[in-house]
Structure 1
């Protein structure tokens, strides 16, 4: 994760949130699909609910 996302504490928070969101969304992804999630600087200011909605929306469009 890029240092543009924020300090080490912020990057780790975003990383933990993304791991939790991905664990929830994994059943939606078709088997064998490769998914890359990139945390942009704006992801540091987004709450968990918004992050989950955005990841789910993107996965539904691309990997389902």
Structure 2
């Protein structure tokens, strides 16, 4: 289970992250990532609509996504808000597929951070 410090609970936070965050699309999920202050805990939120299935199926998908995000926290993720929206195909997806999509979204974020850091560190032309 995710600790309270690692959960997004405010509807306003969800709205901002989904509207302004970077979008990473997968086969079964769409992840929205938004950077936070460095040194802060990573926070996760989940959107699993009725299109995914009945209550039992939706809760199964949500629990799998939570477990994957909990594993991602062990991988030293910090300073980011991530909202994972499950697509209808997530109902038939197995644990490994959902886990790999969450880890791909986190890896995508790290790649973007490295790219922006290297562009900032590169000297300007004429120097």
Shorter-chain TM-score tier: 0.7 to 0.9
CA contact (8 A) 1:14 1:44 kept: yes
Q: Which ranges of structure 1 fall in alignment gaps of 5 or more residues? A: none
Report the RMSD for the aligned CA atoms in angstroms.
1.1
Q: Normalised by the size of structure 1, how large is the TM-score? A: 0.86
Secondary structure in 2 matching 1:37: strand
Q: Normalised by the size of structure 2, how large is the TM-score? A: 0.46
Count matched residues: 62
CA contact (8 A) 1:28 1:60 kept: no
Residue matched to 2:82: 35
Residue matched to 2:108: 61
How far apart in 2 are the matches of 1:21 and 1:35?
Answer: 12
Higher helix share goes to which structure?
Answer: 1
